[in-house]
Amino acid sequence: MARARCALRQLALAGLGMVASVQAQTQPPAPSAGETWFFVDLQGELHYATEQVDERYHRFSISPLPPGDGPLFVDVRAAASALAEATHTDPEAAARYFAESSGYQRHAGQLRAAADQHGVDEQLLKAIATAESGFNAQAVSPKGAIGLMQVIPDTAMRFGVEGDRKRSLEQKLKDPAINVPLGARYLRHLQTLFPGRTDLVVAAYNAGEGAVQRYGNRIPPYQETQNYVKTVMTLYQSLQPRWGGDSVSTLCNMPAQQVCSVARSARLRSSLPARRGRTVR
């Protein structure tokens, strides 16, 4: 229960959109498992990664937070993984998170409408959004994925969304009214490619359908993708109605022990000193 409460608290912070001021390190230490790297662009926007993508990225300083210390940044993927792990001992952990998350509540109507419009499972859409952005509509990944559903601009253009004189494509993808339906449309497209295989749909959302197809319609052997599938599928399973004896393998046709072996290498809290009052969105 304590682990579940901790995961819920961390994801609640993510849902509130809490972000951190950052302090650059001129000589970052050697990388270790579960770390997070970042840089802040000229518009004050946070970009994050699980490795040092280039020289602009600096490693978060991981340390315990004294009472009242702030601000915080929550590693979204790590927090989602911790929540998924918590559901093994506390089956209601995910449901409580969604009930308490202001980030989710802010976009719940859009997620529900997009799921209904495009014929996808609302619970799967929620699980993916949790792992992709923690319901942060302004999130930008180092690979260029944008917004609440972390849509790649090339994918957006494939589905007819482009920039115009009023707004660039990036600005449009930060609009949940555009981003969420687009993510649902892409999810539906993946379901037509991999019918009855939710695990492959989730893997393709992360790594691209081409990667899944290149590996013979199997989850690609990328550690990030495999961890992502485990996290999303575990969250998805925890949100399903409780049928006696049914397991996640019923949902996704993959071994239950594989789905439920959620990655445990993530740190959840970062103490980041303020830098002249500048914060990231």
Q: Is residue 264 part of a domain?
A: yes
Asked whether residue 181 carries a pLDDT value surpassing 80, the answer given is: yes
Of residues 229 and 253, more confidence is placed in 229
The pLDDT value recorded for residue 70 is: 31
pLDDT tens column, 62-116: 333 333 333 333 467 778 888 888 888 888 888 888 888 888 999 999 999 999 9
Q: Is residue 197 part of a domain?
A: yes
Q: Is residue 17 part of a domain?
A: yes
Please report the DSSP string for the chain in residue order. Answer: -HHHHHHHHHHHHHHTT--------SSPPPP-TT--EEEE-TT--EEEESS--STT-EE----PPPTT---EE--HHHHHHHHHHHTTT-TTHHHHHHHH-HHHHHHHHHHHHHHHHHT--HHHHHHHHHHHTTT-TT-B-TT--BTTTTB-HHHHHHTT----SS--HHHHHT-HHHHHHHHHHHHHHHHHHSTT-HHHHHHHHHH-HHHHHHTTSS--S-HHHHHHHHHHHHHHHHTS---TT--HHHHHSS-HHHHT---------EE---BTTB---
Highest-pLDDT range among 16-20, 109-113, 144-148, 267-271? 109-113
Domain that holds residue 22: 2-271
Q: Is residue 277 part of a domain?
A: no
**Residue from 132, 162, 170, 224 carrying the catalytic annotation:** 132
Asked whether residue 268 carries a pLDDT value surpassing 80, the answer given is: no
Q: With bands split at pLDDT 50, 70 and 90, how would you rate the model's confidence at 195?
A: very high
Q: Is residue 278 part of a domain?
A: no
Q: Is residue 279 part of a domain?
A: no
Of residues 39 and 249, more confidence is placed in 39
Q: Is residue 281 part of a domain?
A: no
Q: Is residue 250 part of a domain?
A: yes
- Name the domain count of the chain: 1
132 is catalytic: yes
User: Which CATH number covers residue 201?
Assistant: 1.10.530.10
pLDDT tens column, 151-168: 999 999 999 999 999 999
The pLDDT value recorded for residue 36 is: 66
Asked whether residue 270 carries a pLDDT value surpassing 60, the answer given is: no
